[in-house]
Amino acid sequence: MVKVIKELYDYRQMIIGFVKRDLKGRYKASVLGFLWTFINPLLQLLVYTLVFSTIMRNGIPEYYLFLFVALIPWIFFATSISGGSGCVVSQNTMVTKIYFPREVLPVSYVTSAFVNMLLTYIVVFAVVILTGHTLDPIALLFLPLIMIVEYFLALGITLITSALTVYFRDLEYIMSIVTMAWQFLTPVMYDVSILDGSPRLQTIFYMNPMTSVIIAYRDIMFYHKVPQLNTLVVAVCMGMLFTILGFEIFGKLKRRFAEEL
């Protein structure tokens, strides 16, 4: 794995190129172009505000913000693992014809989605501040950490799904259902406290690596407090575990990519 990471560093220009191309190409034909990166989340926020403050009222105050700070990181995660599962298959001409560390493909995909999330998070910050909230500076220090943890978590899972998709093409479509189900099993749209009644369900919930990540995001951005230590520890451990697992599985499966594609 160390060897692979070293090689990936040598190929950094290729990753940068891929990410740039993806970000540039995303809104290429549209009139507003790159501005969509910011407009899109704002419009989403508008819809959520309308729906949850007028039609579907629930007990949580400022629900739109409660949802918004967690939804943006979730969208990054979901895009990575479902969209990213096809990233090797879609580059089949390159994989069968030239050598480069195959990990470049999932890494580029996840990185590009990550950069997109970072840009969107500027909007989140703007909204949080403009609605009259003051962020806790110490809590904010933990934001980069949790973002990096989420990045590696997404990367690990994308490595696995993208490699498996080469051998089993349906996975790409199955993953979109899986991510949808996963979203409901993660406290994105609700608070984890609704499970206070059943500790057994709660244990299962915490086995979901994204639970800790989303809780941490919300602690920092919505409750303006430092995440609990055990939340952080679980998140970091899960991130590391999935990264190692991802690289190992990808490394095994990549040997026959050129033949399967």
Partner 1 sequence: MSENKVLGADLYNKKSSEKVAIEATGIHKKYRVYLDKGYSLKEKALFWKRNRYEERWVLKGIDLKVMQGEAVGLLGVNGCGKSTFLKLLSRIMYPDQGEVKINGRVSCLIELGAGFHPDLSGRENIYTNAAIFGLTKKEIDARLQDIIDFSELEDYIDNPVRTYSSGMYMRLAFSVAINVDADILLIDEILAVGDANFQAKCFKKLSELKRQGMTIVIVSHDIGTIERFCDKGLWIKDGLCASEGIIKKVVNDYREFLEEERQAALEKEVAAKTKRVESGEDDEQKEKTPKTFLDPTATKDDIDYAANRFGLGYAVITNVVLRDAKGKINTTFTEGQTCSFDIHYQIKKPSKEYIFGMAIMSKDWYMLYGTNQREDGKPTALPGDTGVVTFTINNLNLKTGRYIFSVSIIDENETPMDFYRNYCEFDVVSDKGGIGVVQIDHDWVIQDGKKEDGDT
Nearest to 213 by CA among 187, 175, 179: 187
Q: Using an 8 Å Cβ cutoff, are 127 and 41 in contact?
A: no
Q: Choose between 88 and 153: whose C-beta lies nearer to partner 1.
A: 88
Q: Is 3 in the site for partner 1 (CB under 8 A)?
A: no
Q: Is 261 in the site for partner 1 (CB under 8 A)?
A: no
Give the 3-state secondary structure of residue 123: helix
Q: Using an 8 Å Cβ cutoff, are 84 and 161 in contact?
A: yes
Q: Choose between 96 and 230: whose C-beta lies nearer to partner 1.
A: 96
In sequence order, what E strands does 17-157 have? Answer: none
Q: Is 176 in the site for partner 1 (CB under 8 A)?
A: no
Q: Is 258 in the site for partner 1 (CB under 8 A)?
A: yes
Report the nearest approach of partner 1 to the CB of residue 105 (Å): 12
Rounded Cα distance, 83 and 113, in Å: 10
The C-alpha torsion from 44 through 69 and 242 to 114, rounded to 10°, is 60
Among 168, 184, 201, 225, binds partner 1 (CB under 8 A): 168
Specify the stretch interacting with partner 1 by CB under 8 A; choose among 79-87, 162-170, 215-223, 242-250: 162-170
Q: Is 98 in the site for partner 1 (CB under 8 A)?
A: yes
Q: Is 100 in the site for partner 1 (CB under 8 A)?
A: yes
Report the nearest approach of partner 1 to the CB of residue 86 (Å): 13
Residue appearing with tokens 């895009």? 79
* Tokens read off for 226: 């430092």
Q: Is 255 in the site for partner 1 (CB under 8 A)?
A: yes
Q: Is 10 in the site for partner 1 (CB under 8 A)?
A: yes
Give the angle subtended at the CA of 135 by the CAs of 132 and 139, to the nearest 5°: 165
Residues lying near partner 1 in the complex (CB under 8 A) are found at 7, 10-14, 16-17, 21, 93-100, 168-170, 174, 255-256, 258-259
